[in-house]
Structure 1
């Protein structure tokens, strides 16, 4: 039998579209070989020890060619991040999230942390490079936060207006979620991540302060 299509609530599509619109632009597929090579170098050598020349060597190209297409290591990092965001969103869009209430927020956050920590580049940074990449991470956190705010503001506001989420300052809630995501990616909880997230978010996001 053919697989039944996922039926999303009528407001799910515009909420997801608003989130995608707030994210960095998806890089051209023509850049995939360059970004794949950069990701392999980051995972092998570490982000802080990778140079444009390393990526060029990985591809068998000269440095000037790679630099012309994808720029500096920092530029490659942002392009790679943007690509992975859109790949992640593709996987998320295929899931049936049901009603976007507090429990859905918890599940999305848990899946997001698990997805990010499973990426080879992230695993390498967390295992070996936290000290050496702290400056790069700090420099880019504001950029990441701004995109996260831009993508989340409309879905969060719609959820509040529909009575699915507690009515709070959307910007404050989204920034809180972002900060929790970063901390959980860097250092996951001792216990079950979903139970930890439920303790933190269910009371704060449930209309009427439910537990």
Structure 2
């Protein structure tokens, strides 16, 4: 299968998606956008659903590759690596939402066509984040999996507000300061916190 030609089919499917949505798009629409016959499109996709699944997978794969590069950057501090993983998710959502209200259909985890792709994408991001937090260390009250879940929840929240992109940096700064900055020591119970531990209390 010609990869370049498949990319043209998926580009045409995306163009139709932004105009009509998944349900109203037809194979004739995709073929017409490409300027080819419908039979030519069938050489690369089985049907409309297959075209949109391949499109969704391509977009999620591109975002995941970006997240993996950020997570693996040996020269970046852990906070920046975590932020890079989260930015890959947020940017994908904002890009699709900005192109058309219909584009967000590709992100619907409850949709029959895309649910497994969306869930797999989020699951892989969570795995990357758990690895980063395990490597960096977290406070005793938050384990790496919980830290990953908090970060994903934050980004999901930012996806739903008008100024999510502007709030991304301060929101992640605030969250990561608490998660990555473990307390320097545990204060023993029954010892006043403003008294040095090695000084007799009498």
2:10 is the counterpart of 1:38: no
Cα distance in 1 for partners of 2:7, 2:132 equals: 35
Select the structure that is richer in helix: 1
Match of 1:78 in 2: 53
Cα distance in 2 for partners of 1:74, 1:165 equals: 43
Q: CA deviation at 1:171?
A: 4.7
Query: After TM superposition, where is structure 1 displaced by more than 6 Å over at least 4 residues in a row?
Result: none
- TM-score, reference length from structure 2: 0.62
Instruction: State which drifts further: 53-62 or 184-193.
Output: 184-193
Picking from 123, 138, 151, the partner of 1:149 is 123
Q: CA deviation at 1:34?
A: 0.5
* Deviation per residue, 1:140-182 (Å, 9 max, x gap): 34531233313542x33433443x1427555554454444434
> Greater relative contact order (Cα 8 A, min sep 6): structure 1 or 2?
1
Q: CA deviation at 1:73?
A: 3.4
Q: Which has the larger radius of gyration?
A: 2
Q: CA deviation at 1:70?
A: 1.8
Instruction: State which drifts further: 138-147 or 89-98.
Output: 89-98
Summarize the Cα distance change of 1:136–1:116 in structure 2 as closer, same or farther, 3 Å threshold.
closer
Match of 1:55 in 2: 30
Q: What are the ranges of 5 or more consecutive residues in structure 1 without an aligned counterpart?
A: 1-26
2:97 is the counterpart of 1:110: no
Match of 1:158 in 2: 131
Q: CA deviation at 1:51?
A: 2.0
2:110 is the counterpart of 1:138: yes
Cα distance in 1 for partners of 2:120, 2:145 equals: 11
Q: What are the ranges of 5 or more consecutive residues in structure 2 without an aligned counterpart?
A: 185-202
How is 1:18-37 mapped onto 2 (pairs within 5 angstroms)?
28-37=3-12
Q: CA deviation at 1:40?
A: 1.6
Q: CA deviation at 1:183?
A: 3.8
> How many pairs align?
176
1:48·1:129 contact (CA, 8 Å) conserved in 2?
A: no
1:149·1:174 contact (CA, 8 Å) conserved in 2?
A: no
- Aligned alpha-carbon RMSD (Å): 3.9
Cα distance in 2 for partners of 1:136, 1:88 equals: 16
